[in-house]
Amino acid sequence: MRRDFMDFYSKNTLAMEHSFIREILKVTKGVKGVISFAGGLPNPDTFPREIISEIFNEVIINEGSDVLQYGASEGDRQLIKAIKTFESVENIGDDELIITNGSTNGIYNYTRSMIDQDDIIITEAPGFPGSIAAMEACGAKLSGIDMDELGMIPELLDKELNALLGKKKPVKFIYLIPEFQNPSGRTMSLQRRRDIIKIAKKYDIPILEDQPYRELRYSGERIITLWELARTEFNDPEIVTICKSFSKILGPGLRLGFSSGAPSIIGQMVKWSQKSIVSPDCVTQRVAAHFIDRGYMHEHINRIIELYRPKRDAMLDALEQYMPDGVKWTKPEGGMFIWLMFDKAVDTDVLFDKAIENKIAFIPGSKFYSANNKKRNEVRLNFSYPTIDEIKKGVEILASLI
């Protein structure tokens, strides 16, 4: 007899669905003949295989008795030191940083630390489904705030916080992806960052800043993070917690990221980390520390930028060339995604089925909204994974299906 154990699973587990994006990935990644704009996958050509394999070998031989042992839940001291140097943000205390198992683990532990059933998180709409799913799995209710080209719209945020807090609703934090946002590719302007921090301070609601793409800028000026802005201009090192990731730089398979914020919040996250992963992977952490300490990082990031910039440009050119009148799209200065906005009559869930029949994959916009607030006339396209030829051909086919 095969049991299904349905009576045993928790309500939260049963309420969770499998991730659409991960399911799509299974049927499109590396499948012959399919042009995939669906995943958020870094291009494997960016993985620094040789250097990393040498450092792995060396670390295990020379430092194995240390790194093959259990490690601290906060993370490897050497990596924490290397990150502080790399980030060059002044005065980050040792109790203000935790290494995480990819940034997802940081976002999850932050959410776990804050959320009781039905507490509210403010997110961008559209937002990143990985985080939305993790937050909903923790019991949170999400309130999505519309964006314009410069990021979350401050007036709408102010209005929503005022309304929710006026009704004594438990709003726990504001979740933002200010740079090359997933899915829209938009970047929040400096003024917007200031405006959002001011609103957060006005209502005393903390911000979780998710920054996995920050290093991948192909044009325009680098903008200070909300995390650093709060520390420097607002003299408030507590209001913003940042999550960063090595996934889009060294490779997502390494599962390495970090979070930095108020000692009290980091302390709570350490407690969750102790319960779930004990410590991040000690070997990988030490390898990343050496990679940074030996000065490989900047050059490596520049190589990735040189690989991705022409892909972004090729996709923007192809959209210009092939898309019918009336279709709009974002022009990201970095990251991995372009966001297409169609006339309201176009249902991109339907377009998706048509595209799959024609061996083109993308993610329909509806997947980036929480359950109660879906728009269905948008599309996310990834440009980091396909080749330039695939980008041109894929956009041409996609345009012909609209």
Instruction: Find the binder of ligand PLP among 42, 71, 75, 130 (CB under 6 A).
Output: 130
Can you name the residues that pair with 145 across neighbouring β-strands?
A: 124
Instruction: Find the binder of ligand PLP among 28, 78, 184, 245 (CB under 6 A).
Output: 245
Token code pair at residue 87: 């980030």
Q: Are 44 and 186 in contact (CB under 8 A)?
A: no
Binding mask 319-348 for ligand PLP (x = CB under 6 A): ------------------------------
**Is residue 247 a contact residue for ligand PLP (CB under 6 A)?**
yes
Instruction: Find the binder of ligand PLP among 28, 40, 125, 132 (CB under 6 A).
Output: 40
Q: Are 362 and 329 in contact (CB under 8 A)?
A: no
Binding mask 211-230 for ligand PLP (x = CB under 6 A): -x------------------
Give the helix/strand (H/E) hosting 26.
Answer: helix 20-28
Q: Are strands 151-152 and 240-245 parallel, antiparallel or unpaired?
A: unpaired
Token code pair at residue 93: 């205390």
Minimum CB distance to ligand PLP smaller for 249 or for 314: 249
**Is residue 365 a contact residue for ligand PLP (CB under 6 A)?**
no
Q: Are 256 and 285 in contact (CB under 8 A)?
A: yes
Question: Shortest approach of ligand PLP to residue 62 CB, angstroms?
Answer: 28
Give the helix/strand (H/E) hosting 104.
Answer: helix 102-114
Binding mask 140-179 for ligand PLP (x = CB under 6 A): -------------------------------------x--
Question: Shortest approach of ligand PLP to residue 39 CB, angstroms?
Answer: 9
Cis link prior to 183 (omega < 30° from 0)? Answer: yes
**What is the rounded distance in angstroms from the CA atom of residue 256 to the CA atom of residue 105?**
9
Q: Residue numbers of the site for ligand PLP (CB under 6 A)?
A: 40, 102-104, 128, 130-131, 177, 182, 210, 212, 245, 247, 252, 257
